[in-house]
Chain A
Amino acid sequence: MSPGARLVAVLGVLALVLLLVGAAALFVGSAALSPGAVLAALTGRTGARSIESVVTLSIRLPRIAVAALAGGALAVAGVAFQALTRNPLAEPSVLGVSGGAAFGVVIGQSVGLGFGVLGAAGLTAFAFAGAVVAAGAVYLVAGAGRLSVQTLLLAGVIVGLFFASAITVVISFVDVNRLGGVIHWLLGNLATIPPASLGLFALTAAAGLALVLPHARELNLLALGEEAAQQLGVDAERLKLQIFAGAALLTASVVAFAGPIGFVGLIVPHALRLLLGPDNRLLVPAAFVGGGIFLLAADTVARSIVAPAELSVGVITSFCGAPFFVWLLRTRYRALL
């Protein structure tokens, strides 16, 4: 099979699974709607203001969209950071980049941002700034130049802890009412967001993807080392900057709209690597759809497992991700450490 045909087949299968999981998620939730009622709302046979219609179309559907987008963005950010650092265990939350973005959001909220599309855009900008600062700090702490796998992870943990403390400091200084639901959000929480904000989220995530996807072939060459990539014709400096900007933007958009959800960027790329191999030209697009599937499934579990209460989706991803990280470390990457 030609690589192009393989990509189409992979994306087709993943899209079908996403559709099925999304459809299933429409029927699950704290409001007790019968499957018939959901179907009636979907086909427009109920009034626009009926409970069935509001719950299905204005609450569940946008939330499904947020979950799919956020999961896709995080998974692509994971692939991008892994290729950029040539470290298969790198990921926005492990690298502390999510923590930096979260600190940016908390600062943004404490100066009064957060309402409407403009507020959301402002928070995304603060999150991006935080992500860039955190990634820069990791680079400095780990010592610029050749980063070993361990040093980079250690630097990420240190930076992540620092920003977690910084967030606590800000929260204790600011009136808690102004930081509505911050604790829930800090664990990673997919809430229904208004259509305009959802559009903004989709745009920023798409921009991040557009910075990474066209360079997937060059990312393969970067895996040979920066010098080898240059000797094969890659402008490595420009490539690294673009990939870094893309990964930071993807991370920042998710953190701004859904909070620092951990481990998606680790679980999804590695699961896909087991199936597809290390070729980033397959991995990047597959991770975008596969990440959506994973986070959507995790969110559906999070909002039904303790119904009528709700878990933060970040709890589910961490419960899956932490053991997965240990398993990767002890089996597949033992030789690298």
Chain B
Amino acid sequence: MIVEARGVGFVYPPARRVRPFRLADLTFGVAAGELLGVIGPNSAGKTTLIRLLSRVLEPSAGEILLEGRPLARLDRAEVARCVAVVPQGVPPQFPFTVEELVLMGRFPHAPGRYFESGADRATARAAMAATGVLELATLPLDTLSGGERQRAVIARALAQEPRLLVLDEPTAHLDLRYQAETAALLRRLNRERHVSILLVSHDLNLAAEVCDRLLLLAGGRPVRLGAPEEVLEAEVLEAVYGCEVHVDKNAASRRPVVQVVWPDAGGR
């Protein structure tokens, strides 16, 4: 197992005007080379799970193991050499170039170094080539399209040379073409670079297409863990999301396809 959560729980410290949120009884693992999808409605605990896996937050119950070692005993750089997180976006205040961004992924490998070494630059170039942004290397991030920026951020994560790549809603702001590209990219990286992937997504159909297994969360608790067709069952999803759905099969891939049954749609 690359990462293993054993009975993990977390409670945000009480704050005024914020509804209390707790995560509980989370037990799962990501095997070497596996592609695990984490799905669930808003406030299911998906973002909290990413923060726990990357040690931004510490669990209040249970423990997380990274390649068999307790996460709580690793320092930040050690964690970053094993787990790379692809966030939803890049803040726009300081427009770094693609290459500068990707080189930041080399930080955990030598935090004391002022400038990156030649080897760091080679690793960064390979990461940019893997996601197809090498020819954009010298461009500032704010001149890129949404899809290009996404691939630059994925290249930065690859430059960390992680065992586990964690993606937070990678297709959230992308149109159909970039969604398809991202899905293909993730599968290729998983196959060619043998990196395990934990994909957090709202998009049930993307997760079903890309992932080996799915973990369905709701209200901070795991609901189901298994192959896409075991997890994406109409009754389960209707109970969790509170709306009527129809589950079909993709004719080509034989993976489940989830459709919302729009209220009153038949009445027109």
Contacts and interface: CB of A to CB of B under 8 A. Distances in A.
Interface string B110-128: 0101111000000000000
Contacts of A88: 93-94
Given A227-B51, A278-B94, A234 B100 contact: no
B108 interface: yes
A221 B115 contact: no
A243 B55 CA distance: 23
A217 B114 CA distance: 6
A22 to B, nearest CB: 28
* Range, interface on chain B: 20 to 34
A335 interface: yes
A80 B80 CA distance: 25
Interface string B52-90: 001110000000000000000000110111011101001
A224 interface: yes
A223 B51 contact: no
Contacts of B80: 231-233
B255 to A, nearest CB: 30
B96 interface: yes
Contacts of B105: 232
A233 B94 contact: no
A227 B56 contact: yes
Contact of B56 (A2, A220, A230): A230
A47 interface: no
Interface in B201-230: none
B242 interface: no
A220 B100 CA distance: 9
B76 A233 contact: yes
A86 B93 contact: yes
A86 B56 contact: no
Interface residues of A, number: 31
Contacts of A234: 76, 107, 111
A34 to B, nearest CB: 47
A217 B94 contact: no
B119 to A, nearest CB: 13
Contacts of B97: 277
Q: Which of B91, B104, B108, B140 has the most CB of A within 10 A?
A: B104
Nearest to A83: B94
Contacts of A169: none
A223 B56 contact: no
B87 A233 contact: no
A221 B96 contact: no
B7 interface: no
Nearest to A234: B76
Interface in A64-122: 86-88
Given A86-B91, A86-B93, A224-B91, A232 B115 contact: no
Contacts of A2: 115
B96 A231 contact: no
Contacts of B114: 214, 216-217, 281
B266 interface: no
Contact of B100 (A214, A233, A279): A279
A51 interface: no
A44 interface: no
Contacts of B107: 217-218, 221, 232-234
A308 interface: no
The 9 closest A-B pairs by CB, nearest first: A233-B108, A233-B80, A233-B77, A278-B94, A223-B94, A231-B85, A231-B54, A3-B115, A233-B76
Interface of B: 51, 54-56, 76-77, 79-81, 83-85, 87, 90-97, 100, 104-105, 107-108, 111, 113-116, 140, 160
27 contacts: A3-B115, A7-B115, A86-B94, A87-B93, A88-B93, A149-B93, A217-B107, A218-B111, A220-B96, A220-B100, A223-B91, A224-B90, A224-B91, A227-B87, A228-B87, A231-B87, A232-B160, A233-B79, A233-B81, A233-B107, A233-B108, A234-B107, A277-B140, A278-B96, A279-B96, A279-B100, A281-B115
Interface of A: 2-4, 7, 86-88, 149, 214, 216-218, 220-221, 223-225, 227-228, 230-235, 277-279, 281, 335-336
Given A233-B80, A234-B111, A335-B92, 12 more contacts: A2-B115, A4-B115, A7-B115, A86-B93, A88-B94, A217-B115, A220-B96, A224-B91, A230-B55, A233-B77, A233-B107, A336-B92
